[in-house]
Structure 1
């Protein structure tokens, strides 16, 4: 198989594996670009768009939830309106900050050492939060008070630093605000839909002409999309079962080891 398409498949696997785990998909894609020796700027559009494959996996796995909420909105059921309210409140801060700091965030995407340090610091933060958080008061997304949903959204903004992890920030933020583990994970999954759709739309508006480039065209993007979709389908179910039983500590240690290994490797180059 052509080396280009092997790279496409590998990046699709990395995206599907890491998008919903608290380990930073963007950070892993940046480190993968350094490891494989390709120009990350050339593949920036590809890396953003294939995230929609992972997002589609959430829609497919949770279609009954979305259908129930949609029907509830039509019937004006309070629980469905609270569900929608909480998603919108949690999405708003990232939308505002993302638009304001887009150029600065793009600059950080070319800094693999930032990713490595963020992996380590984030891993330590997860270990501390897992030890500190005891009370879990909210066992459904619609049960989360509006102010706490907004708080999760504000914490999500930290994940604009590559290596922090969007899912990690939102899940840990939800835990500190009293949300039960499984609900925190699912809230993060659902929040990824408007967040990543917004990020992809912004990239398409700014750099849509890159899709037609000779290096990364529609065929490559389609293949990466499909691979990330199927891998994410498997990961989401496994992840929810794991954190419900064992929490997030394994991912914290992985982040610390991966970050240290990345720093050592980057220092040897």
Structure 2
């Protein structure tokens, strides 16, 4: 893989990671079209550059992700003159406000962490199957044409532990290449009566621990392989370029997506998935070799 190929794949990652169109599927197809051999490093590269994408979430939602927004409970005036048990209750609420968000992220993250660890080999074997990617793009696209009507009722934007866990199980569906982690988690949120915007934003937040764990696991796995550390040293520049490009492009993609999906919904993404998946299926049926070697 050269620098130009790395930049192109990173652009695709940044554009598609947070859109409900399957970043994994698009990177697999892009890799094939570029003729990039599926080496251990290339497989690791497509996962490691997700780190740049998740940094864009942390950057855009810095205050919310680290709970820096002011809260009345935090004000000095709010605890002025309060003593004893009442004071401890007040500070207890402050503690819960700070960490409740992270607890729900952990709850949502756990299903994918467990299933991903137990079935990592099976998941990796599916990643190179272009048929699976194409079929799931079409199936997911058809579903997205109706998702706004199926889940158009917002009862409360409050995220409970139960809702977080439910979204976490939905995220596991995205281990099938072509499904889209973003689509699965957003639909999971909307099925729990969250608004499109709230579901999308929680999907972004959940991407941080999920993709960080995947990146760390892939990196560690490569390092532990014979000659893995040498491969990383030789390709350090390409990894840096890939992460920087994915970071910048993902920043722009997130801003576009939130505004677009809040106003127009998901139907356009459904049509896009059907068209792309359909083209790939036709090419496969015509005998084009799109499998990654």
* Superposition TM-score, scaled by structure 2 size: 0.84
The structure-2 alpha-carbon separation of the partners of 1:221 and 1:134, relative to structure 1 and needing over 3 Å to count, comes to same
Aligned residue for 2:187?
172
Residue 193 of structure 1: how far off its partner (Å): 0.4
Is the Cα–Cα contact under 8 Å of residues 57 and 204 in structure 2 kept in the other structure?
A: yes
Alignment correspondent of 1:198:
213
Give, in whole Å, the separation in 2 of the partners of 1:159 and 1:216.
Answer: 32
* Secondary structure in structure 2 of the residue aligned to 1:162: coil
Which contiguous aligned blocks of 4+ residues in structure 1 show a shift greater than 6 angstroms? 70-74
* Secondary structure at 2:152 match in 1: coil
Equivalent pair of 1:12/1:225 in contact (CA under 8 Å): yes
1:19 aligns with 2:17: yes
Show the counterpart of 1:145.
Answer: 160
Give 5+ residue unaligned stretches, structure 1. none
For residue 114 of structure 1, the aligned residue among 117, 121, 132 is: 132
Over alpha carbons, which structure has the higher Rg? Answer: 2
Q: Which of 93, 101, 109 is matched with 1:91 structurally?
A: 109
Deviation readout 1:179-230 (Å, 9 max, x if unpaired): 1110001000000000001111111221225463389711111101110000
TM-score (norm. length: structure 1) = 0.92
Distance 1:200 1:16 in 2: 15
Distance 2:68 2:270 in 1: 33
Alignment RMSD:
2.1
Segments of structure 2 that go 5 or more residues without pairing to the other structure are 75-90, 289-293
1:159 aligns with 2:174: yes
CA separation of 1:115 and 1:210: change in aligned 2, threshold 3 A: farther
Q: Structure 2: how far apart are the matches of 1:69 and 1:93?
A: 28
Specify the alignment match of 1:221 in structure 2. Answer: 239
2:51–2:211: 8 Å Cα contact kept in structure 1? yes
1:89-127 superposed Cα distances (whole Å, 9 cap, x missing partner):
110000000000000000011101110111011111222
In 2, the alpha carbon distance for the partners of 1:151 and 1:5 equals 40
Give distance in 1, aligned partners of 2:20 and 2:68.
26
